[in-house]
Amino acid sequence: MGHDLRASTHPTSPQGAPCPPRSGHSPSCLACGQPLPRQARRLCAPRRCRTCRRMSVESPSPSAAPRSRPVRRSWVWAGIAVASLGFMGVAVHDLVQGRSQPPPRLGALPDFTFTRQDGQPFGLKQLRGHPFIANFIFTRCPTVCPVFTQKMARVQEHTSKLGTDLQLVSFSVDPAYDTPERLAEYGKKYQADFTRWNFLTGDYATLKDTIVQGFKISMGREAGAPEDDLLSIFHGTHFVLVDGTGEIRGYYDSADPEATQKLETDAFRITREEG
């Protein structure tokens, strides 16, 4: 046939590949290069010296290595959990301490009396004994007032459990235009409960003095602006919380949801304490 059949009898390794043929020189260890002893020179024997084989046996495989990493990782997570609990404890302590401190007293309001949306006089005398929340608007305002009034309507809803014990008062900063009738229509537009929510108008100079000097809230009109220039009218957009004795207890930015929420919390506290 012409074929050399001796190749078919050549030994193969367990993986099926032919073992390297014998050569004339002495085989050496594949690991360290030292000559192998005679008894280790048989075909397909592991070509490593006794020392290297012993080292491979004594050296643990990766799978047999002690699993210290998961244990270390569990300790790390345990530390994080303990630290988190400590932080939460501090936060709760601070929250409780904050709640235990009533809103500060920031000064007493001067006496005032204006005209309510129903045409009746209304002022600090009628509010005596009732905490109230004040804001400052005008009915033809094209910018911030609609949003400011909507937020007061939301405060009315969120504090409804307090009933008439907590009053809401909206002062007009454009009293020449905002008649009692217009204020009544404006209040109805925002579903005002007139047993709790009062809209006041009156003499411009007196209103300005009460708002600026009493409430410490800005109000005015740009000098020389025409009457129909509504953007020339300016005023503050903070809610003011006043207790039943007429003392200011806090200012709350109406543009900040957290401040508005704090306003409601403080209003509940003061109303219940005084009730």
pLDDT at 271: 95
Rounded Cα–Cα distance for residues 134 and 109 (Å)? 12
Show the tokens assigned to 121: 């006089």
29 known member of a binding site? no
pLDDT in tens, the chain (275 residues): 444 444 444 444 444 444 444 444 455 555 556 665 555 544 444 555 555 555 544 444 444 444 445 445 555 555 555 455 544 443 443 444 445 688 999 999 999 999 999 999 999 999 999 999 999 999 999 999 999 999 999 999 999 999 999 999 999 999 999 999 999 999 999 999 999 999 999 999 999 999 999 999 999 999 988 888 888 999 999 999 999 999 999 999 999 999 999 999 999 999 998 86
pLDDT of residue 19: 46
Predicted local confidence at residue 227, as pLDDT: 82
Q: Residue 104's Cα: distance from chain center in Å?
A: 25
CB contact at 8 A, 9 and 18? no
Amino acid (1-letter code) at residue 135: N
Q: How many residues does the chain have?
A: 275
Which whole-number Å values give the CA distances from 261 to 132, 154, 189, 267, in the listed order?
Answer: 15, 10, 24, 10
Q: Which domains does the chain have, with CATH numbers?
A: 27-59 (no CATH), 113-274 (3.40.30.10)
Tell me what pLDDT residue 101 has: 84
CB count within 10 Å of CB 113 equals: 14
Q: Do the Cβ atoms of 127 and 246 come closer than 8 Å?
A: yes
In the block, residue with structure tokens 């290297």 = 52
Check the annotation: does 19 bind a ligand.
Answer: no
235 is in an annotated binding site: yes
The pLDDT, as a whole number, for residue 100 is 60
